[in-house]
């Protein structure tokens, strides 16, 4: 990569870094993991920078890397957590703190399947259209719509269950 491209990449990275980390946090619920994901995504973008630029929309490329990577990390973490003899995961309601909405929302997000979580974040946090979300996730608009609807329903139900357990 020449010095001009290097400078271009550095500028791009400075601009996207916070949003990427936040997206990673929304996907994993873990700040450190989110930074790892964002760093890995940017490293991959660096490795194919000319191709990424040629493709036209580097943001779509980065989001796709983060979403795919988070899917892999979630799968690996789930496998580690389900090793025989390990303590079971604490109940989500016990993790949620009612006095602070932040962990409760993040915890509720973590209870959603990764696909629905991705749709929620892209659609409702990044304000992307259904078509844009479908392009990033590589699925149909109908699938985005149904996943969003299911996610909203789950978030509402999850909230009721959590309140019942805590009372």
Partner 1 sequence: MSIVDERDLRQQLDGVLDAIMPPDAPVRAAARKGKLIQAGRSLGVVAGLAVVAGIGVGIPGLLNQPAREVSHARPMVMVEQSCGTGVREIIGSPAPVAGRTGPSSAAQAARGRPASELAAGGCAWLKP
Residues 37 and 7: their CA atoms lie apart, in Å, by 22
Give the residue carrying structure tokens 């909405």. 101
Q: Can you read off the two tokens belonging to residue 64? A: 């796709």
CB 65 within 8 A of CB 44: yes
Which span (26-34, 67-75, 81-89, 137-145) binds partner 1, by CB under 8 A? Answer: 26-34
Residues 155 and 83: their CA atoms lie apart, in Å, by 28
Residues 145 and 137: their CA atoms lie apart, in Å, by 12
Residues 75 and 66: their CA atoms lie apart, in Å, by 14
Task: Choose between 32 and 78: whose C-beta lies nearer to partner 1.
Answer: 32
Angle at 12 between CA 8 and CA 15, to 5 degrees: 145
Looking at 93, 106, 114, 139, which residue binds partner 1 (CB under 8 A)?
106
Name the minimum Å distance from CB 76 to partner 1. Answer: 19
Task: Choose between 87 and 160: whose C-beta lies nearer to partner 1.
Answer: 160
Residue 19 CA, chain-centre distance (Å), reads: 11
Question: What part of residues 36-65 is at the interface with partner 1 (CB under 8 A)?
Answer: 38-40, 42-47, 49
Looking at 8, 59, 130, 159, which residue binds partner 1 (CB under 8 A)?
159
Which span (62-70, 74-82, 104-112, 129-137) binds partner 1, by CB under 8 A? Answer: 104-112
Query: What is the binding site for partner 1 (CB under 8 A)?
Result: 6, 9-10, 13-14, 17-18, 21-23, 25-26, 31, 34-35, 38-40, 42-47, 49, 96, 98, 101-102, 104-106, 108, 120-121, 124-125, 127, 152, 155-156, 159, 162
């Amino acid at each position: 990569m020449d010095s001009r491209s290097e400078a271009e990449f550095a500028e791009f990275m400075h601009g996207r870094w916070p949003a990427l980390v936040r997206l990673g946090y929304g996907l994993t619920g873990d700040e450190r993991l989110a930074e790892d994901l964002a760093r890995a995504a940017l490293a991959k973008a660096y490795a194919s920078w000319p191709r990424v630029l040629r493709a036209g929309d580097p943001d779509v490329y980065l989001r796709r890397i983060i979403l795919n990577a988070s899917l892999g990390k979630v799968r690996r973490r789930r496998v580690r957590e389900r090793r025989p003899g390990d303590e079971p995961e604490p109940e989500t309601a016990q993790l949620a703190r009612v006095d602070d909405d932040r962990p409760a929302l993040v915890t509720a997000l973590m209870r959603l399947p990764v696909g629905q979580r991705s749709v929620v974040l892209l659609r409702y946090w990044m304000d992307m259209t259904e078509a844009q979300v479908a392009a990033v996730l590589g699925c149909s608009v109908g699938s985005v719509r149904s996943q969003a609807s299911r996610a909203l329903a789950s978030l509402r139900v999850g909230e009721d269950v959590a309140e019942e357990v805590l009372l």
